[in-house]
Amino acid sequence: MIGFVLRRLAQSVFVMLAVSLLAFAMFHYVGDPVEVMVGQETSIEDRERLREQLGLNDPVLTQYARFLGDLVTGNFGFSYRTRQPIGEMILSRMPATLELGFVSLLISLIIGIPAGIFTALRSGGLAAQTILVTTLVGISIPTFVIGLFLIYLFGVQLGWLPTYGRGDVVEIGWWKTSFASWSGLRALILPAITLGVYQLTLTMRLVRSEMQDVMNTDFIKFAIARGIDYRSVHYRHALRNSMVPVITIIGLQFGGIIAFSIVTESVFQWPGMGLLFLDSIRFVDIPVLSVYLVLIALIFVVINLIVDILYFVIDPRVRLKPEAG
């Protein structure tokens, strides 16, 4: 187990190095940082001095090493746009995105998995067909349309739920959470549903097709032929086997939710990383963008590591070698 995790960790380090190189290259080759920082009337001598101060005249490798060192020690530099430290900017935004992503994942799992099981086991039934067709509609409509529709229905017409922002947040250390107040929780509902619909449909269809495949395997037929209780056949034997591939996809999707919640965040004016990313693109805020890139890569790497460890726990075939003979 430890060896397995260490190997995966080592591989992750290589991935992160590659991404950081990309981020560094972006920093270095997209525009001249000095030009961006100074005004038009700054003299050439001043510019040179600044260049020297910033270490831009050092060999590229030295600069990259410094960039890596800064990343590792959490010294992310300053935004061109707001002149604030990037670390603080991201930290203040991250909880919003993580909470939103987490809740929408939860919604998609709590509804998606049972719906997948149901549609797999009653595949001919009217209810199952209805669910499938409805979710097909859900998956075909773009996220922002769903968001706007929800805002119109629950926010404008019915007036039940807030349509923008996070509501009242409670600070726990530096982490601002929406979970601790009624208004925060209410503000979460619409954006989380919007973000979770696609994920929900995907989870449901994946669980359904995996479950159907597993139900056709010999070991399920054998379990039925031995007279094992159908409940155990479905949940103990079939479901666990269907979850193995489902976990990979859910993991990757969760990474995607966090990284690309941009559309949902802008529809609901959700003060998360997606909005920050959007603003930064508009102002060509290279330092923020490159840190964002590294951070998202880190999130993906961590999720993948978790998925691998889950595999290890669930599937004995990964864990235990067969004996010879």
Partner 1 sequence: MEDLLTLRDLSVVYPTRFGPFTAIEGINLTLQKGEIHGLVGESGAGKSTIGAAIMGLIPAPGYIAQGQVHLDGMDLRALDAKAYHKLRGARISMIFQDPQTSLNPLLTIEDQLVETIRQHTDQTRTQARDKAIALLQETGIHDAEARMAEYPHQFSGGMRQRVVIALALCTEPDLIIADEPTTALDVAIQKQILQLIRRLAKDRGIGFILITHDIGVIAEITDSVTVLRGGKVMEHGQTAQVLGRPAHSYTRALMAAVPLLDKRLVRFTNIMDSEPKLSAPELSWKVAGASAEYASDWLLAGDRAQAGDGPVLQVRDLDVTFYGNRPFAFGARDGFKALQSVSLQVDRGKVLGVIGESGSGKSTLAKAIVGLVRPSAGEITFEGAPLPLGRDRARTHPARRKIQMVFQDPYSSLNNRRRIEQIIGEPLRFFGLAKTRADRRRLVASVLDLVEMPQRAMLKYPHQFSGGQRQRIAVARALVARPEFLICDEPTSALDVSIQAQILNLLKDLQATFGLSILFISHNLAVVRQMADDVAVLRRGQLQESGPAEAFFEAPQAEYSRQLLAETPSLAMLSATGHG
Q: Does 241 bind partner 1 (CB under 8 A)?
A: yes
Q: Does 12 bind partner 1 (CB under 8 A)?
A: no
When binding is defined by CB under 8 A, the residue of 59, 74, 159, 227 that contacts partner 1 is 227
The count of other CB atoms within 10 Å of the CB of residue 270 is 29
Query: In whole angstroms, what is the distance from residue 22 CA to residue 294 CA?
Result: 9
- Taking alpha carbons only, the member of 10, 15, 6 closest to residue 296 is 15
Region of 15-23, 105-113, 152-160, 220-228 interacting with partner 1 (CB under 8 A): 220-228
Q: Does 310 bind partner 1 (CB under 8 A)?
A: no
Question: Is the Cβ–Cβ distance between 204 and 141 less than 8 Å?
Answer: no
When binding is defined by CB under 8 A, the residue of 20, 237, 257, 267 that contacts partner 1 is 237
CA atoms lying within 13 Å on the CB side of residue 194: 30
Q: How far is the CB of 254 from partner 1 (least distance, A)?
A: 23
Q: How far is the CB of 122 from partner 1 (least distance, A)?
A: 13
Query: In whole angstroms, what is the distance from residue 79 CA to residue 285 CA?
Result: 7
Q: Does 248 bind partner 1 (CB under 8 A)?
A: no
Q: How far apart are the first and last CA of the chain?
A: 25
Question: Does an H or E element contain 244, and which?
Answer: helix 240-259
Query: In whole angstroms, what is the distance from residue 113 CA to residue 135 CA?
Result: 13
Per-residue binding letters, 14-53, with partner 1 (x by CB under 8 A):
x---------------------------------------
Query: In whole angstroms, what is the distance from residue 76 CA to residue 94 CA?
Result: 15
Q: How far is the CB of 228 from partner 1 (least distance, A)?
A: 6
Q: Does 315 bind partner 1 (CB under 8 A)?
A: yes
When binding is defined by CB under 8 A, the residue of 100, 115, 192, 223 that contacts partner 1 is 223
Chain centroid to CA 38: 36
Q: Which residue has the tokens 């529709």?
A: 149
Query: In whole angstroms, what is the distance from residue 184 CA to residue 188 CA?
Result: 6
Nearer to partner 1, 37 or 228 (CB): 228
When binding is defined by CB under 8 A, the residue of 21, 130, 240, 281 that contacts partner 1 is 240
Query: In whole angstroms, what is the distance from residue 194 CA to residue 141 CA?
Result: 11
Query: In whole angstroms, what is the distance from residue 151 CA to residue 154 CA?
Result: 6
Give the bridge partners for 70, in sequence order: none
Q: How far is the CB of 118 from partner 1 (least distance, A)?
A: 18
Q: How far is the CB of 126 from partner 1 (least distance, A)?
A: 17
Q: Does 231 bind partner 1 (CB under 8 A)?
A: no
Q: Does 230 bind partner 1 (CB under 8 A)?
A: yes
Q: How far is the CB of 5 from partner 1 (least distance, A)?
A: 13
When binding is defined by CB under 8 A, the residue of 226, 234, 280, 290 that contacts partner 1 is 226
Nearer to partner 1, 21 or 136 (CB): 21
Q: How far is the CB of 316 from partner 1 (least distance, A)?
A: 4
- Helices (H), strands (E): how many in the chain? 15, 2
Residue 139 phi, psi (nearest 5): -80, -20
Q: How far is the CB of 9 from partner 1 (least distance, A)?
A: 11
Residues that bind partner 1 (CB under 8 A): 7, 10-11, 14, 217-219, 221-230, 232, 236-237, 240-241, 314-317, 320-323, 325
